[in-house]
Structure 1
Amino acid sequence: MAHAFDISPEKRASRVSFIWRQLFVTPPPVSSDEVNLTGRTALVTGATGGIGLEITRQLLGLGCKVIMGVRDERKGEPVRQVLIQEGNLDDDMVQVWKLDLSSYQSIIAFAANAKNLDNLNIAILNAGIYKVSEAFSPTGYEEGIQINYLSNIFLLISLLPIIKKNAPAGETGHICLVSSDTAAWAKFEERTTTPLLPAFKKPMKTWDMGERYGTSKLLGQLFLTALSKRVSSVTLSCANPGLCGGGSDLAREAKGILRFAHKLQCLVLSQTCAVGARTIVHSVTTLHRQAHGHYVEGDKIQPMAPIVSQDEGNELAERLYEETLEELSFAGVREIIEGVSD
């Protein structure tokens, strides 16, 4: 459904608007007086630190049980214990499940286990990487594209029938893909290649980690736009927490001058992870159905990257959608989508 915005996609995507939001716009927290998630369960990936941990805290504060999807269960368990203790929660309010987005088999196993749940109706796909140096996954794709785009989309599709089945009466479940301002800044030069996805198996002429990260997030926006036109039985949104410091380890690989530059940027511009997490929580609670097929910043629906709403973006979204389903055809993703479509 089209949404009327009070700002153009181009203006929202400007660096000036980004700086303004970072310095002067603070979304309100979601209070337990307006939202009660008792009896519901949410999956949060990348939940052991940073924004993912704060999303988990805030959902728990609204009465929601949380499954933390983590690469290393040994790191997840101490975090779980802290959350249980600080919230004085029952032990079963937080669970730790293994989920390694670098492995399709891990995603398949996770989804198979999740089928046994009868109340998983929220999923927040927050896990991602920011690669300082270029590297390629066993699938042949650059690691950032593999993790941030292909693996997250595979997980999203795998969860569709589960989230649909467990929707509360008269409502839909919700899957939120965490996005980024950088999607709007990506040059996305690969968009002129046909087919599109194989371009990400080739080394960049000059490695640009910001460009590659932004492109991986832009691909997510394009795919979600195409998917949301076909699936309405599950609410699908993407949300941008903004630049967050004080716990976020997205740039954990950075060293030397790069690490210094990142820390300086965070010192000047970043909001806390707790503030950034509010946007994600608003997306799946106060906005919920309004956010279907849309992008959330703060507590409002905002334009996606400018290209998404352009004619070129519409064509790219459809092409990317078809190529992605073909790439993931080994898991029957097209049939999964058809099974939840209206």
Structure 2
Amino acid sequence: MAKSFDVSPEKEGSMLNFFQRQLTQTPEVVQGVNLEGKTAIVTGSNVGVGLECSRRLLDLGLSKLVLAVRSEAKGQTALADLSKGRNLKEGAIVVWHLDHSSYDSVLSFVEKTKTLDRLDIVILNIGIMTTSPKPNPNTGHEETIQVNYLSMALLAILLLPVIKSKLPEQQGPSRITIVSSDASAWAKFKERNEVPLLPSFDRPGKMDMVERTFVSKLLGQFFLVELAKRVPPTVAIINASTPGMVHDSQISRDTAQTFSGKLAEVFRRRIGYTSTVGARMITDAAVKHGEETHGQYLNFQKVKPMAPIIYTAEGERIRDQLWKETMAEFSFAGAEDIIKDIRN
């Protein structure tokens, strides 16, 4: 994980630096890449950043796009939108059901990916922000942790054997890009000393759901580092990126109904990007860079530090603990065996 950055993790992760970037920088349009003949999956692709990443991939010549969405009806609307003005072959865009609230849905989705001829790009974009804690009816885990971290991590792991099986049809490794957030650095992460860690997120009671969203994204960064250590970049280059603050992504549609949420939306509209602009950073991470981004975080289309805790001794301890608990959580899917097989 050793990496030299042009800025310290503390400075990169500060709110002051974040707002300065947001106000003074605009990500560049992704171009100079030809995706003809390639296949991509984009999760959460019926609205916002996921939809706009999908649009840009098609603009770059992508031949096959899987829209992985919870609502197939909304997915069909997105398909119609993305198809406008394009001379696409039949089946160039397909809508497949994927519900991060259900491990069974993740398993079924992965089974379907085995029918693809190849799998070059995966953008893991699904995320939620809620106003109150809600236990997942299928797993008992708090829903934000379930959707934003656990099901995302399971999907990433289960796709690895599929990706490996498709490599003979491809020129070079596949790409997996996790949609992360600068807000990972702002998490207070009061649960950091809990052992075990995952059950600590499931305790009933009042909680700050914005903080919980930040923590869920931080867990994703811990996971990225550990996963990249175990997956050869010759199989898949795995990285993460952020769209920055986006005002039309709909991730805050629930919180926007509260008084504080409405105030935040006014602020977000003033300084936030459109999803079209924010998606440039995710698309860039997925198609423009090489092995140097494996296990790394990109911001404004350059490799930057993740949350400061990632690089500390405490962070190393948490990463190790979280990885072990995550593997135990996914024992029903044989996650540890999958990781071992991928390394061979």
What TM-score results when the alignment is normalised by the length of structure 1?
0.96
Over the aligned positions, Cα root-mean-square deviation in angstroms equals 1.3
Map Cα deviations across residues 55-113 of structure 1 (whole Å, 9 max, x no partner). Answer: 00000011112100011111111210121123343332211001111111111001001
Counterpart CA distance in 2 for 1:114 and 1:309 is 35
Q: 1:77 to 1:169 in 2, by over 3 A?
A: closer
Q: 1:24 to 1:87 in 2, by over 3 A?
A: farther
2:50 partner amino acid: G
Aligned to 1:118: 117
Counterpart CA distance in 2 for 1:263 and 1:211 is 17
1:130 partner amino acid: M
Q: Is contact 1:122-1:163 (8 Å) kept?
A: no
Secondary structure of the corresponding residue to residue 86 of structure 1: coil
Aligned to 2:176: 175
1:114 partner amino acid: T
Map Cα deviations across residues 100-153 of structure 1 (whole Å, 9 max, x no partner). Answer: 111111110010010121211211010110011111112111110010000100
Q: 1:225 to 1:166 in 2, by over 3 A?
A: same
TM-superposed CA distance for 1:316, in Å, is: 0.8
Counterpart CA distance in 2 for 1:265 and 1:207 is 23
Counterpart CA distance in 2 for 1:315 and 1:121 is 33
Q: Is contact 1:180-1:241 (8 Å) kept?
A: yes
TM-superposed CA distance for 1:170, in Å, is: 4.8
Aligned to 1:273: 275
- Superposed, 1:1-342 pairs within 5 Å as 1-31=1-31, 34-64=32-62, 65-138=64-137, 139-167=139-167, 169-204=170-205, 206-232=206-232, 233-245=235-247, 247-254=248-255, 255-342=257-344
Secondary structure of the corresponding residue to residue 166 of structure 1: helix
Q: Is contact 1:54-1:274 (8 Å) kept?
A: yes
Counterpart CA distance in 2 for 1:306 and 1:119 is 37
Counterpart CA distance in 1 for 2:164 and 2:306 is 25
The more displaced of 251-260 and 194-203 is 251-260
1:53 partner amino acid: L
1:180 partner amino acid: S
Counterpart CA distance in 2 for 1:87 and 1:243 is 30
Counterpart CA distance in 1 for 2:222 and 2:269 is 31
1:199 partner amino acid: S
Counterpart CA distance in 2 for 1:7 and 1:268 is 27
Secondary structure of the corresponding residue to residue 288 of structure 2: helix
Counterpart CA distance in 2 for 1:169 and 1:86 is 28
1:5 partner amino acid: F
TM-superposed CA distance for 1:169, in Å, is: 4.4
Q: Is contact 1:84-1:91 (8 Å) kept?
A: no
Q: Is contact 1:282-1:288 (8 Å) kept?
A: no
Counterpart CA distance in 1 for 2:77 and 2:203 is 39
Q: Any stretches of 5+ residues in structure 1 without a counterpart? A: none
TM-superposed CA distance for 1:332, in Å, is: 0.6
2:266 partner amino acid: L
1:72 partner amino acid: S
TM-superposed CA distance for 1:278, in Å, is: 0.8
Counterpart CA distance in 2 for 1:339 and 1:265 is 48
Q: Is contact 2:43-2:69 (8 Å) kept?
A: yes
Identity, in percent, stands at: 43
Map Cα deviations across residues 14-68 of structure 1 (whole Å, 9 max, x no partner). Answer: 111110111111121111xx21111111100110110000000000011112100
Q: 1:256 to 1:229 in 2, by over 3 A?
A: closer
The more displaced of 289-298 and 84-93 is 84-93
Instruction: Tell me the number of residue pairs that the alignment of Structure 1 and Structure 2 aligns.
Output: 338
Q: Is contact 1:163-1:174 (8 Å) kept?
A: no
Q: Is contact 1:39-1:119 (8 Å) kept?
A: no
Counterpart CA distance in 1 for 2:26 and 2:53 is 16
Counterpart CA distance in 1 for 2:20 and 2:86 is 34
The more displaced of 89-98 and 162-171 is 162-171
The more displaced of 130-139 and 210-219 is 130-139
Counterpart CA distance in 2 for 1:52 and 1:169 is 24
Secondary structure of the corresponding residue to residue 35 of structure 2: coil
TM-superposed CA distance for 1:165, in Å, is: 2.5
